[in-house]
Each structure stands twice: as C-alpha cells, then as structure tokens.
C-alpha cells in the first residue's frame, strides 16, 4: 500500500490533452458566438435564413445578450472560486504564468477545466512516493 500524504500535491504544470483542447475550442467558439451581435444581424446567414421577421430578430438579439451575460458572468465568478479553492491549495503561485494558464482556461471552459485540474492532481498524486 502506498504511503498516505496529508499535504495536498503541488501542481507545477498545465498539461495539454486533446480532450481539453477540444473543450477549450468548443467553449471558446460558443463564448465568441454569443458575444457578437453581428452573427444575428441583417446580412448574416442566420438572419437571412432564420430570422426574416423583425420580431424574430429582436427576440434573437435579447437571447444572444442574455446568453452571453449568463455564460460570461458564471465563468467570471468561477475563476476566483477556482483560484481560491484549487490553485492556492495545490501551490500554484498567484498571478504566475501557470496561474494565468489555469485561470484563462477556467474562464473559457469552466467546468471542463475543473475536471482537467482534478485529473492533473490525480496524476501528480500517483507519481508522488
């Protein structure tokens, strides 16, 4: 049986995996699309094919605004929570390059970064003797 450590494992890397790159890309594209009114404005493919009436365009504009506000708001709250509960606990220096990698990843991908961090901690703990 492996020895039990009472102190949390120190995270010193930001590993890149195909799964995390995929989640960052998908979430980043969704965040970008929800932030840009141009994607539903007259002349855009969405407007020209789906939002032909002024009422539909007005409703879509409200939905776009609230979608972005909710996603960005939740992720903005998530970053300090992630930093306080995970990064500091596992020895990631505040405002270091590593801290910024994890924080930006959390803002873009949210829950997927929490999962990625948990996997990173688990792998680092397995390597600890």
**Cα dihedral: 18, 25, 70, 84 (round 10):** 50
Decide if 63 is inside a domain.
yes
- Within 10 angstroms of residue 53's Cβ, the number of other Cβ atoms is 8
**SS3 readout for the chain:** CCCCCCCCCCCCCCCCCHHHHHHHHHHHHHHHHHHCHHHCCCCCHHHHHHCCCHHHHHHHHHHHHHHHHHHHHHHHHHHHHHHHHHHCCCCCCCCCHHHHHHHHHHHHHCHHHHHHHHHHHHHHHHHCC
pLDDT confidence of 111, banded at 50, 70, 90?
very high
Decide if 3 is inside a domain.
no
Decide if 13 is inside a domain.
no
How many C-alpha atoms does 40 have within 13 Å on its Cβ side?
Answer: 21
Average pLDDT, the chain: 91
65 pLDDT higher than 50: yes
The boundaries of the domain holding residue 112 are 18-127
Separation of alpha carbons 112 and 20, rounded Å: 7
Decide if 57 is inside a domain.
yes
Query: Once rounded to an integer, what is the mean pLDDT over residues 40-66?
Result: 83
Decide if 68 is inside a domain.
yes
Decide if 12 is inside a domain.
no
Total domains in the chain come to: 1
48 pLDDT higher than 90: no
Decide if 113 is inside a domain.
yes
Query: Once rounded to an integer, what is the mean pLDDT over residues 75-92?
Result: 98
State the Cα angle at 16 between 15 and 20, rounded to 5°. 115
Decide if 5 is inside a domain.
no
Give residue 56's pLDDT.
82
């Amino acid at each position: 049986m492996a020895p039990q450590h009472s102190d949390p494992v120190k995270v010193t890397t930001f590993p890149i995996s195909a799964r995390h790159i995929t989640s960052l890309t998908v979430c980043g594209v969704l965040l970008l699309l929800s932030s840009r009114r141009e994607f539903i404005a007259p002349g855009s493919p969405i407007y020209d094919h789906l939002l032909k009436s002024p009422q539909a365009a007005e409703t879509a504009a409200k939905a776009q605004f609230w979608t972005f506000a909710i996603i960005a708001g939740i992720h903005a709250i998530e970053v300090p929570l992630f930093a306080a509960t995970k990064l500091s606990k596992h020895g990631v220096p505040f405002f270091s390059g590593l801290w910024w990698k994890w924080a930006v990843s959390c803002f873009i991908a949210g829950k997927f970064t929490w999962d990625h961090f948990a996997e990173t901690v688990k792998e680092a703990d397995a390597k600890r003797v």
